Structure 1
Amino acid sequence: MAQLAAPTTPRIEHRTDQDAVLGLAAAAPRLSWTVPAAPEGWRQTSCEVEISRAGEVTVHQVHTADQVLVPWPADPLSSREQARVRVRVSGADGVWSNWSPARTLEVGLLNSTDWTARFISPVGLGALHMPAPVLAGRLTVPGPVRSARLFATAHGIYVATLNGRPVDDSVLAPGWTSYENRLRYHTYDVTDLVAEGENRLEFLLGNGWYRGRLGYMLDRALYGDRLAVLAQLEVTTTDGAVHTLNSDGSWTARESQVVADDLYNGQRTDLRRGAAGVETATGTVEVLDLDVGTVVPTDLPVIRPLQTLAAQKVWTVARHAQVNHVVDFGQNAVGWIRLKVRGLPAGSEVIVRHAEVLEGDEIATVPLRSAEATDSWILAGPEEVVLEPRLTFHGFRYAEIRGVPDLRPEDVELVVLGTDLRRTGWFSSSHELLDRLHENVVWSTRGNFIDIPTDCPQRDERLGWTGDIQVFGPTASFLFDTAAFLGSWLVDLAAEQLPDGSVPHVVPDVNRNELAFTPAAAWGDAATIVPWTLYERTGDVGVLARQLPSMRAWVDKIAGLAGPDRLWAGGFQYGDWLDPTAPPEEAEKAMADPDVVATAHLARSAQIVAWAAEVLGLDDDAQKYAALAAEVREAFAEAYVSPQGRVHSDAQAVYALAIQWDLLPTAAQRQLAGRRLADLVRTNDFRIGTGFVGTPLVCDALAATGHADVAHRLLLQTQCPSWLYPVTMGATTIWERWDSLRPDGSINPGGMTSFNHYALGAVADWMHRSVAGLAPAEPGYRRLSIQPKPPVALTHAQARHLTPYGEAAVAWERADGEFRLSVTVPVGVQAEVHLPGAEEAMTVGHGEHHWRTPDRVTAAATDEPDWTRASIRDLLDDEEAWEQLAGAAVEAGIVPDAAAAASRLLKYLDSPAAQVGFAFVPDDRFQGASAVRQAATRILSA
């Protein structure tokens, strides 16, 4: 029997720091831990928290079964205060574990009065369209250093150095928030950088989000036209004295080598500036009359280089009488190029352009729209130098390099940037294309989680679209620890929300027009759905408490728009954005009726607010919004659902919404709706028919109504449109459109054609929960639901996730006529295990569990069909027979492709399979009719 192990090092709030936690935003931080091993049946009943602060050690015993987000048991900490925390636990037997390793934590500057520094800005330098300025201050330290902290933020982005060395490896600080409402500062441990004697602190300032181009309206300086820095360096010497360098009027300014910088356009650098004999302008600074009251600590992981990618292929192309090199890094990613050059004379120019795809053998820049995505350098001489920007980033797989005649592959690499989120989820299977799809989802998450969840990382947009993250939140929260990341973004959402409850379409809001605040279903519903997703995945009640006013305000707003009849109809809507039938320039023209989509979201959001209020113990609110949700469901059913379960507009998306969100009044209607959805998928040749709204739900809706096999065919389809079609076209990230790259290799002509857009990758959440079978059954994974639905095309699949309680894992395989399931349950968690074909679930505790049962899936799939008794629906469900028949119809010239063939059969699905030839071609005079009927006879008699 396993022994009770010591808990892991306590986690502080949602911070993921490996070592000390600095700049903490909470004076009374919550604590979490996992227990790596314990005896069978053990459950925590008590814990002890030892806190060392100011030389005093106290132990606090708490009688609780909670291991996650346990309230701080001592007096609150004060600004700058440091503590060391460790825990131990016991169960009902009263036996205590050993103590965990200790975690050091240090609170940041919690109050505006803690700031003695002031915002400063250069005078006569650093204006818009001028070279990037460097602001510098000096501090004399009179003795040996015990510790040093730098607190810093900026209007713009900064690169901070102390005595010529970077303060850390982060980039693009302080990131992007709703700057008018809050500006995050970062805390740096610079003890090792401070020297006794003279010290020089410098900040290179770039335009970033604050002053650079932002949004697709070509706006600049949306937040202000002056760059500024706020910096406070506090050095404690060994005698206990504190020596402070504040940003103030004594600082100096100078121009840097960066002559232009922009997130969209790129960075231009003249390395001759500041070199021997080449002077740059210098000047003074001005203290700005700015309130530090909006300056807040950050608990968000920083943006930093995550890895590098080597060049996979290099070739040359001739253009404009120049020979340029094109580099393929083999992976669409986000970051910049690091390039080593040598032997080029002073004044030589090196230009690097970036793109996601090729046209022929040259980079394709049309999808970037007006973003120039170009970095350039003017060299100071022939010495070897490493060229690398610091004030921009790009989304690209390919780079065109001009001005380096002897480029060697080993001289160039792609530096991958991203918010340093802890990876928490993995999936793999026996299907190579499916695994690549999942990897593409991971890469798109990394590339678009640059301080906020953006839609795309490459063109003149890169905005925090609410609809995109609303549908993708569950997938992101499985793959990465997003609690602090999305929690921070939700604070901005609430801050940007209008007093009447309207939610902007992008957060932070940069559109700043009437349309930007016109309530839009699925987009504004991020105000309710994202907080609920975080609660479900982390168990954090605090996020609900903080966001509930915003959640209520949004629902009240759209309920008012719906009026007494409870139908949200008319007005502007994105609808099921970018479904496969939408014209290139009219992405909102989907098959799903936007009124159906809107009213469904009103019902969903009202229900979520009711659940959130119930969790928080607000009974009146819970009853109010539950009643509203019921009224909307009733109105939806009366207006949009027939007695036979048909949902108005008869599209895949509307059935997915109605089924998954319980909008169908009776069980019979639910089953009929599920059957209709399955038939729509069948007669679309098992190709996807949804956009952003329906895509996360369609496979769940199929599986929930008994059509998991249809969902699996849909998932594994490789023809366009499908999830795997981009993989067959070489995609290494998720595309914005199902056909961003068309089968002939041409780029979709629509103005929105991104090759790194995570929304359609939301299916990965279903892959985790259903294909592998690992899902939360209670918030925070306190209980697990293990219920794999194995696709017949797969022989094995597995998923694992670092839950708040530790690692949970599911792995299954089919071999030798058996279905074999292995499950890992962390300590503190129970799992409900549903074996395929079993009528009831089993409940198991922590530990490793294994089962073997007969492989019913393979056995059923290998049964020979009885075509004399089968229907045309059965024929479509037989993948091999259907491919042969559709191929015969295409060869005979009856239809252009299998999707067109399948669409002919929608009215005949219940007809005998033997009549399929006549269903295809009811008119004998049609050329090719006899060939198709003969093929059908041959296939059915085989």
Structure 2
Amino acid sequence: MTEHHPVTVAITQVEYLAGSRFVPVPAPRLTWVTETDVPDWRQAWAEVESGGSVARVDGRDSVLVPWPFAPLAQGEGRAVRVRVHGEDGSVSGWSEWREVEAGFLAEGAWSACLVGLAAPDRTSQPALLRGEFDVTGPVRRATLYATARGLYQVEINGSAVDEDTLKPGWTSYQWRYVHETTDVTALLRPGRNAMGIQLAGGWYSESYGFGEDKKPFYGDQPAAAAQLVITYQNGNTAVVATGESWTASGDGPVVSASIYDGQHDDAQRNQPGWSTAGFDDSSWDPVRAQTAPTPAPRLGPPVRVVAELPVVERWVAPSGVTILDFGQNIAGRLRLRVDAPAGTTIVVRHAEILDGEELDTHSLRGAAATDSFVSDGSPGTWEPQFTVHGFRYASIDGWPGGVPEGAVTAVAISSDLERTGWLETSHPLVDRLHESVVWSMRGNFVSLPTDCPQRDERLGWTGDIQVFAPTAATLFDVNGFLANWLADLALEQKRLDGVVPYVVPNISGVPTFATAAWGDAATVVPWVLHHHYADTRVLEDQYESMTTWVDLVDRLAGSGHLWKGGFQFGDWLDPTTPPEFPLDARADAELVATAYFAYSAQLLASNAAALGKADDAARYRDLAAGIKAAFHEEYVTGNGRVVSDAQTAYALPIVFGLAADEEEVRRLGANLGALVRRNGYHIGTGFAGTSFLAEALSRSGQLAVLDRLLTQTEQPSWLYPLTQGATTTWEAWDAIRPDGSPHPNHVSFNHYAFGAVAHWLHEGLAGLGAAEPGCRTLRIAPTPLPSFDHARSRRRTPYGVAVSGWRREGDLVHVSATVPPNTTAVVQLPDGSAEFTVGAGRHEWTARVPVAARRRPGLSLATDGVDVIDDPAAYAAVLAAFDRHAPWAADALRSHPRWHPGVPLIMDVFMLPAPVREAIDAELATFGQDS
């Protein structure tokens, strides 16, 4: 008889937060994970205990389970624990107690005023703010609620209240503020106390726009509001709030601070003791106090330091500055350990790439991205707190005697998301691609999902996160982070009569129209959160936004269900578009728009069904069916050709379910595969199509094509940037050209949209996906590509760690999987056998998947070009021969591939003199002789 370990259980999350006891709602949902090696273990029921009461939860529910007790009141704390009972009769012990505390203020309890400088002498002037208060007895609990029009840091009695940064983040300030909730009990002392606030403009008073159009959008001066609630041991409470009694100084050490331009600090302006009781603030001025809007508690995690990187290489540039390479492109800033004479000014500049031995700052466009520090003569550590830069390289100027070894560290910052997805394969460049996607996500998930972290933009582009959301939810827990951003999307959309803006928060200042793929973030992102986390609350919160968007497009499309006319981004940044015309993609923009219309209608029907809205679900299913029929009639021919003969034009209908049947999926896939081959196995998609390209090829059976495409290293391809030293994914496929020159439009080198292929690497290549929301039922369906020997995905699902992997031994593929307790998995082995279902536990299977033998062609100028491009070694040999004897022909093959069946190689060089053709032919004839 096999012995099993006991069943154990742990509460892993309360509402959206894993690492905080504060919760943003009165009835927080609970998630717990059960661990056991008992095969097929499933929960029959659970007990949840708090305050002496025990509630029973029947069935398998263990993810985002509704709070079974009375709602929490402001400041109320509870301890909660869980015990589970298995269908097999097993019973766990009680989990450890989890402390839960209301992190919100009761309705009407917010009394703090926004305070700032009464008479600032410049736009977006940083400030120090302070107020004193008395603590009159033993304190049970002290909780600080704080927000800002701008960025703030709070000190109490000279100590920082936390290690978070860029607080409270960026929201649509016209409609919504958020507050942080911080336990400051340990910082209070009997008697007189002081609270100090460092304040900077941040996103609130930043100037937005390009060139001469830059100006503040929200306001030109920051302000902060803080409310400290002190609960004494005797039960009495006291409130300390920012207001007219506070004082302010504009002469603190932060001279200026800008998200885009950087921060300038002067330590000679330090005011020691400014946040402690008894400080002489007689030279300070009364604050300007304004009524503060009531902020909502923050849903997502705070922004924090997530990594520290040492210098990996350094040199003195011809200009005399010291250049530091940190080996990784990040969003963050530098930390300097400085010991320099008083008055010394050290200037730091940032860049993603180099121009020779100097920084290349062209991709910054209008952002100065420059920090500076003036020493007061005492040794210490300096790190700017109110800015963030995107960079791998930094220059330092003005350090007396040069920059000491070990004195500089790059500090990467990001919203502190929990990592949930890891991948490993037998292909080193594919593994590096995956990690570059992880780093791009970190660098662009700073308070909200941005397009890039380095230039004068850094905006929450809706199209970017729409295509990347499934990948984001695979790599990290983004449920609260994206739910917070979606709240702003809905508010901005409401002010535009249903149109989803291109960026959220919407500071674009340009005319905004309903636009496919960008506007579809309203339906796609909530669906992704429900699919990955089984979160129905986000569907409820966003339902009006979703329906408003689909209904708006329905009106624009009319009874014909084809979305025609109007502005469209289309397949933005298709690699064939000229730099000056990025909208000129191969895929027809109206085709893309109608395909996305169908996709959103389908998702909305699914979301309505998940919420129990049966009538709405039926209505939107009927709408989706009508759009599908109209799309098919307008764009798809009987032999599976799409009128707009482009890779995206085939990928979208395959993945969006717009084909008539599986036979048409096969025909569409064959035509897509032919296009990819004709293009030399290069990427031919932009933002709208890239995230679906691998899935479309896989779903339609074009695995050999997908294998060549995925492992392609020539430009444009997923792996090409890595051959150019990339450590994050790029905005444009040719951000750096093969000759080493940068793209003329100064694009970003840290842009996650094209990294959306990482989702397929997990779900397709390694075969780990969700068949039911929240991974309650997994789907194990690996896709062993010919060039790979193994692949493995590991994910921390809401139910526990799940794994899917495979390794090849000749014609045998060994598949292994770990299915967490309380879940099941639908398994599809790669041999095409029938699906089957397994329960929790570790599983192994073996499938026979022969690798098709590849006939190596004999090479000559008479060889069919298709036989060449299908064989990487033959292709390399042809390029080598052409490079030696006809370089222009080799360049043409690389840049303008035209691999049509039945076209021999000689057609690419027939105009050359006969001796040259003969020399090439003779060299090609030697191919394979040494192998």
Smaller-chain TM-score bracket: over 0.9
The within-5 A match list for 1:238-637 is: 238-255=233-250, 256-274=252-270, 282-292=284-294, 295-319=295-319, 323-344=320-341, 346-381=342-377, 383-404=378-399, 405-498=401-494, 500-514=497-511, 517-637=512-632
Instruction: Please list the CA deviations of residues 580-603 of structure 1 after superposition, one character each: whole Å capped at 9, or x if unmatched.
Output: 112223221111111111111111
Instruction: Please list the CA deviations of residues 883-919 of structure 1 after superposition, one character each: whole Å capped at 9, or x if unmatched.
Output: 3345445544286437727966544x2x4xxx73456
1:879 aligns with 2:872: yes
Q: CA contact under 8 A between 1:528 and 1:609: conserved in structure 2?
A: yes
**Quick one: distance in 1 between partners of 2:121 and 2:607?**
48
The change in CA–CA distance for 1:922 and 1:661 in structure 2 (over 3 A counts) is farther
Q: CA contact under 8 A between 1:832 and 1:843: conserved in structure 2?
A: yes
> How far did 1:668 drift?
3.6
**Quick one: distance in 1 between partners of 2:391 and 2:528?**
30
**Quick one: distance in 2 between partners of 1:324 and 1:600?**
52
> How far did 1:577 drift?
0.8
1:39 aligns with 2:41: no
SS at match of 1:439: helix
The change in CA–CA distance for 1:107 and 1:356 in structure 2 (over 3 A counts) is same
SS at match of 1:638: helix
Q: CA contact under 8 A between 1:138 and 1:201: conserved in structure 2?
A: yes
**Quick one: distance in 2 between partners of 1:808 and 1:709?**
28
The change in CA–CA distance for 1:906 and 1:747 in structure 2 (over 3 A counts) is closer
The within-5 A match list for 1:104-123 is: 104-123=99-118
The change in CA–CA distance for 1:67 and 1:927 in structure 2 (over 3 A counts) is farther
Q: CA contact under 8 A between 1:787 and 1:836: conserved in structure 2?
A: yes
The change in CA–CA distance for 1:37 and 1:359 in structure 2 (over 3 A counts) is same
Instruction: Please list the CA deviations of residues 855-905 of structure 1 after superposition, one character each: whole Å capped at 9, or x if unmatched.
Output: 623xx346777999x986455323323333454455442864377279665
Identify which range, 820-829 or 350-359, moves more after superposition: 820-829
1:774 aligns with 2:768: yes
**Quick one: distance in 2 between partners of 1:923 and 1:289?**
79
**Quick one: distance in 2 between partners of 1:76 and 1:735?**
47
The change in CA–CA distance for 1:901 and 1:162 in structure 2 (over 3 A counts) is closer
Gaps of at least 5 residues in structure 2 are: 274-279
Q: CA contact under 8 A between 1:660 and 1:701: conserved in structure 2?
A: yes
Q: CA contact under 8 A between 1:792 and 1:861: conserved in structure 2?
A: no
Instruction: Please list the CA deviations of residues 749-781 of structure 1 after superposition, one character each: whole Å capped at 9, or x if unmatched.
Output: 114x10100001001111111111111111111
Aligned residues: 917
In structure 2, what is the equivalent of residue 754 of structure 1? 748
SS at match of 1:410: coil
Q: Which amino acid aligns with 1:396?
A: F
**Quick one: distance in 1 between partners of 2:467 and 2:517?**
8
Q: CA contact under 8 A between 2:124 and 2:205: conserved in structure 1?
A: no
Q: CA contact under 8 A between 2:575 and 2:733: conserved in structure 1?
A: yes
**Quick one: distance in 1 between partners of 2:214 and 2:756?**
31
The change in CA–CA distance for 1:155 and 1:818 in structure 2 (over 3 A counts) is same
1:654 aligns with 2:649: yes
Identity of aligned residues (%): 43
Instruction: Please list the CA deviations of residues 216-250 of structure 1 after superposition, one character each: whole Å capped at 9, or x if unmatched.
Output: 46544322233222111122333333232111111
Q: Which amino acid aligns with 1:413?
A: T
In structure 2, what is the equivalent of residue 787 of structure 1? 781
1:833 aligns with 2:821: no
> How far did 1:117 drift?
2.3
**Quick one: distance in 2 between partners of 1:904 and 1:401?**
45
**Quick one: distance in 2 between partners of 1:58 and 1:502?**
48
In structure 2, what is the equivalent of residue 193 of structure 1? 187
The change in CA–CA distance for 1:97 and 1:865 in structure 2 (over 3 A counts) is farther
1:638 aligns with 2:626: no
Q: TM-score, normalised by structure 2?
A: 0.94
**Aligned Cα root-mean-square deviation (Å):** 2.6
Q: CA contact under 8 A between 2:831 and 2:848: conserved in structure 1?
A: no
Q: Which amino acid aligns with 1:897?
A: A
SS at match of 1:268: strand
Instruction: Please list the CA deviations of residues 26-78 of structure 1 after superposition, one character each: whole Å capped at 9, or x if unmatched.
Output: 111111111111522332121111012xxxx1001121211111111122221
> How far did 1:694 drift?
0.8
**Quick one: distance in 2 between partners of 1:318 and 1:471?**
42
**Quick one: distance in 1 between partners of 2:190 and 2:386?**
31
> How far did 1:569 drift?
1.7
> How far did 1:854 drift?
4.5
Q: CA contact under 8 A between 1:109 and 1:115: conserved in structure 2?
A: no
The change in CA–CA distance for 1:831 and 1:150 in structure 2 (over 3 A counts) is same
Q: Which amino acid aligns with 1:147?
A: R
SS at match of 2:548: helix
The change in CA–CA distance for 1:495 and 1:140 in structure 2 (over 3 A counts) is same
In structure 1, what is the equivalent of residue 18 of structure 2? 16
**Quick one: distance in 2 between partners of 1:813 and 1:280?**
73
Q: CA contact under 8 A between 1:153 and 1:183: conserved in structure 2?
A: yes
Q: Which amino acid aligns with 2:314?
A: V
1:224 aligns with 2:199: no
The change in CA–CA distance for 1:921 and 1:257 in structure 2 (over 3 A counts) is closer
Q: CA contact under 8 A between 2:679 and 2:897: conserved in structure 1?
A: no
SS at match of 2:654: helix
**Quick one: distance in 2 between partners of 1:563 and 1:838?**
42
SS at match of 1:272: helix
The change in CA–CA distance for 1:126 and 1:800 in structure 2 (over 3 A counts) is farther
**Quick one: distance in 1 between partners of 2:491 and 2:914?**
64
SS at match of 1:7: strand
The change in CA–CA distance for 1:901 and 1:300 in structure 2 (over 3 A counts) is closer
> How far did 1:513 drift?
3.3
The change in CA–CA distance for 1:275 and 1:144 in structure 2 (over 3 A counts) is closer
Q: CA contact under 8 A between 1:427 and 1:799: conserved in structure 2?
A: yes
The within-5 A match list for 1:690-839 is: 690-751=685-746, 753-815=747-809, 818-839=812-833
The change in CA–CA distance for 1:542 and 1:926 in structure 2 (over 3 A counts) is farther
In structure 2, what is the equivalent of residue 209 of structure 1? 203
Gaps of at least 5 residues in structure 1 are: none
> How far did 1:717 drift?
0.7
Instruction: Please list the CA deviations of residues 665-703 of structure 1 after superposition, one character each: whole Å capped at 9, or x if unmatched.
Output: 244432222111111111211111111111111111111
The change in CA–CA distance for 1:922 and 1:745 in structure 2 (over 3 A counts) is closer
Q: CA contact under 8 A between 2:300 and 2:482: conserved in structure 1?
A: no
> How far did 1:10 drift?
4.7
In structure 1, what is the equivalent of residue 63 of structure 2? 68
**Quick one: distance in 2 between partners of 1:696 and 1:85?**
41
The change in CA–CA distance for 1:726 and 1:483 in structure 2 (over 3 A counts) is same
Instruction: Please list the CA deviations of residues 126-151 of structure 1 after superposition, one character each: whole Å capped at 9, or x if unmatched.
Output: 75254x11111111112333321111
Q: CA contact under 8 A between 1:314 and 1:409: conserved in structure 2?
A: no
In structure 1, what is the equivalent of residue 9 of structure 2? 7
